[in-house]
Amino acid sequence: MLTQKSKTALNVVALLAAVKQSLKIDTSDEDTDLTALMQETVDVIEKDTNVDITPTIWEWTGRFSYDEHLNYHDLPCIVLPRGPLVSINAIHYYDREDTLTAWTEYYLSKSDFTLGFITPQKYWPHTSRRPDAVVINFTTGYSSIPLNAMRAIKLQCGTWHEHREGETEARINPQLWGFDRLLSQIRMGGY
């Protein structure tokens, strides 16, 4: 199970300036509407790509896959479902006596372009049978908005802004193809 613990606020001022420049808007008359469009676009991007635009702290709970007869290279990994992974803040597990214990004997594989993978150095620890036997606290997100995400935000905000009175599928479809193409370049998780 994945739970969002905290999220850094979007830098609305800088993003609004970039969107307004892209749309060639010089006044502040539409700032409230544009800010709402930007936030909705960022929400769509984050939901559709498994990518966090701003730093976000998550807590994943689940179970280790354990089989003492497997060697290291055959051990399954835990794939963290959000990216890009910045850091693992803590990994704890409930042992067989249901005592919460810290675990540090793992390898972490991460990049800006894939989800994070955790594998044990030797083996997974024996855990309680409870469904939340493992608790991983981790941080994801970018320090600044990636170029393709920025392009997607500008494109989608521009499309929504231009067609705010009445959208028709015929007028919107070409922009959606571009938006989807930009999202495919940052999407994580094999979707």
pLDDT at 164: 66
pLDDT at 21: 93
pLDDT at 69: 43
pLDDT at 61: 95
What is the DSSP secondary-structure string of 53-95?
Answer: SS-EEEEEEE-----TTS-GGG---EEPSSBSEEEEEEEEEE-
Contact 101, 93 (CB under 8 A): yes
Tokens of 63: 């179970």
pLDDT at 184: 86
pLDDT along the chain (191 residues), means of 10: 93 92 91 92 92 95 64 68 94 95 93 84 88 95 91 89 62 64 80 42
Distance in angstroms (rounded) separating the CA atoms of residues 46 and 127: 32
Contact 138, 116 (CB under 8 A): yes
Instruction: Identify the structural domains of the chain with CATH numbers, from first to last.
Output: 9-53+145-184 (1.10.3230), 56-140 (no CATH)
pLDDT at 172: 47
List, in sequence order, every residue forming a beta bridge with 142; answer none if it has no partner: none
Beta carbons within 8 Å of 114's beta carbon, 6+ residues apart: 83, 84, 188
Distance in angstroms (rounded) separating the CA atoms of residues 135 and 92: 5
Contact 134, 93 (CB under 8 A): yes
Mean pLDDT over each residue of the chain, to the nearest integer:
85
Distinct helix (H) and strand (E) counts, the chain:
4, 8
pLDDT at 165: 63
pLDDT in tens, 144-185: 998 999 999 999 888 888 776 655 554 445 456 688 888 888
